[in-house]
Structure 1
Amino acid sequence: MAGAVVVHEGRVLLVRRQVAVGRLSWQFPAGKVEPGESCEEAAVRETKEEAGLDVVAVAPLGERVHPITGRHVSYTACEVVDGTAHAADTDEVAEVAWVSLPEIPRYIPYGLFKPVQRYLDVALRS
């Protein structure tokens, strides 16, 4: 799996899944890495498919086995190039939100992957 950590204008993009996986409802745009595709390319593609945004990959943030889904996830920092975020894939995504640093625990109460949290602590500082 590849996840996109999209920061824009002091907020990070989260998407709410139509179907929650356990406690996981809100998350970063994410999906499977297709054959021949890098994790960074998958993060960019998934952001376009799920949230309608054109983004560019900036830096890999790390990988882990997600504690809720059990899936291997690679996280990539991304920046917006064009578009307006919306629930582009309504089969998968119920809604999108631009979330400030102090608001993240309301959306993701179980905490973030430490390298992602460290990146957001710097990227979302006002």
Structure 2
Amino acid sequence: MSDRETSLNDNAPPQRRVAGAVVVHEGRVLLVRRRVEEGQLSWQFPAGKVEPGESCEEAAVRETKEEAGLDVVAVARLGERVHPITRRQVSYTVCELVGGTAHVADADEIAEVAWVTLLEISQYIPYGLFEPVQQHLDVVLRS
């Protein structure tokens, strides 16, 4: 993470903090498509606002359950940045699937879910991924 990203993160208002879950299972990563797009942002990792008193890891686990109906556990934090499209501070956490089948669990917020291969990611997220997330997926999704 660059010094610029770190300094921006430290100054982000708490109400703009978002936690994202990077969930890999059987050679694919989970993405959700939001009902309301933010610019180019349509497909993304399960994510949502960090609630008061909640850690980013706890929020990533909760949001995955709320949006995709999956039970996951937080494994490792990959880093955080100010998202180039939403301008929100986003923390990315690797989560391990422990139960459930992915489905649209919050139909008001989520339009669809997809398990995507490494080669398919750019079709869903054409503007690229946060470098630490991309590096993690390059390692765990390479066959």
- Amino acid aligned to 1:83: G
Q: Hey, what does 1:104 align to over in structure 2?
A: 121
- Structure 1 gap ranges (5+): none
Alignment RMSD? 0.4
Q: SS of 1:35's equivalent?
A: coil
**Pair 1:78 & 2:81 matched:** no
Query: Matched residues in 2 for 1:122 and 1:79: separation?
Result: 15
Q: Which has the larger radius of gyration?
A: 2
Match of 2:9 in 1: none
Tell me the number of residue pairs that the alignment of Structure 1 and Structure 2 aligns: 126
Query: Counterpart in 2 of 1:41?
Result: 58
Given the alignment of the two structures, is residue 66 of structure 1 paired with residue 83 of structure 2, yes or no? yes
2:115 partner amino acid: W
Instruction: State the secondary structure of the residue aligned to 1:48.
Output: helix
Percent identity among equivalent residues?
83
Task: Give 1:12 shift.
Answer: 0.2
Instruction: Return structure 1 stretches of 4+ with deviation > 2 angstroms.
Output: none
Pair 1:29 & 2:46 matched: yes
Name the amino acid aligned to 2:84.
P
TM-score by length of 2: 0.87
* SS of aligned partner of 1:123: helix
TM-score by length of 1: 0.99
Provide the residue aligned with 2:22 in structure 1: 5
Q: Deviations over 1:35-94 (max 9, x none)?
A: 111100000000000000000101000000000000000000011000000010000000
1:113 aligned to 2:135?
A: no
